[in-house]
Each structure stands twice: as C-alpha cells, then as structure tokens.
C-alpha cells in the first residue's frame, strides 16, 4: 500500500507541475487574434485538400448532431420527428 501511495503522490505532483506550465500563450478571444501559419510555410494543394477532408470527416458529425439537437428541442411535444423518437433527445 505504501508503494501505491508513493506512486500516486508522485503522479499528482507531476500533474500539478504540468498544469501550472501547460498554458503559456493566452487564448485568442476573436478570430482576428488567431495567428496564421509562419511566414514562408509551403502549403501544397494535396496538403490543403487533405486538411479539408479531415475537417469535413471529423467536423460534419459534430455539426449534424448539434443541428439535430436544435431541431429536437423545437419539437412541440415528445414523439416522432422524421421517424426519430424525440423523447430522450431533448436538450
């Protein structure tokens, strides 16, 4: 039990130290504050296409789920909306 406590104490110490140093740059508040790529960065057409595909692949399900939640929250009463039960999906 002593070894487990020692390991746990060390792990907590590492996590606290990491958390204190994790955020070194202030989080941007507006889109204008977000820095662009470093000057001289080459973005080839295949690279840009792959980034677009990845954004669509991972982003579309999130946007779709958010849109469905909004649509279900506007349902007049629990029941079926487009063949889907809205009983358990209200926000």
- Using a cut of 0.75, tell me whether the model's pTM lies above it: no
Which has the higher per-residue pLDDT, 25 or 70?
Answer: 70
Residue 50: predicted pLDDT: 95
Q: pLDDT digits over 47-89, tens only? A: 999 999 999 999 999 999 999 888 878 877 766 666 666 665 5
Residue 82: predicted pLDDT: 66
* Closest-CA residue to 80 (of 71, 48, 40, 24): 71
Residue 66 three-state SS: helix
Calpha distance 51→45 (Å, rounded): 10
| Other C-beta atoms lying within 10 Å of the C-beta of residue 63 | 10
């Amino acid at each position: 039990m002593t070894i487990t406590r020692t390991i746990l104490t060390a792990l907590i110490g590492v996590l606290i130290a990491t958390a204190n140093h994790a955020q070194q740059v202030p989080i941007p508040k507006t889109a204008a504050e977000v820095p662009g790529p470093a000057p001289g960065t080459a973005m080839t057409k295949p690279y840009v296409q792959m980034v677009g595909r990845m954004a669509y692949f991972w982003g579309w399900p999130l946007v779709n789920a958010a849109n469905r939640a909004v649509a279900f929250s506007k349902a007049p009463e629990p029941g079926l909306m487009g063949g889907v039960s809205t009983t358990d999906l209200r926000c």
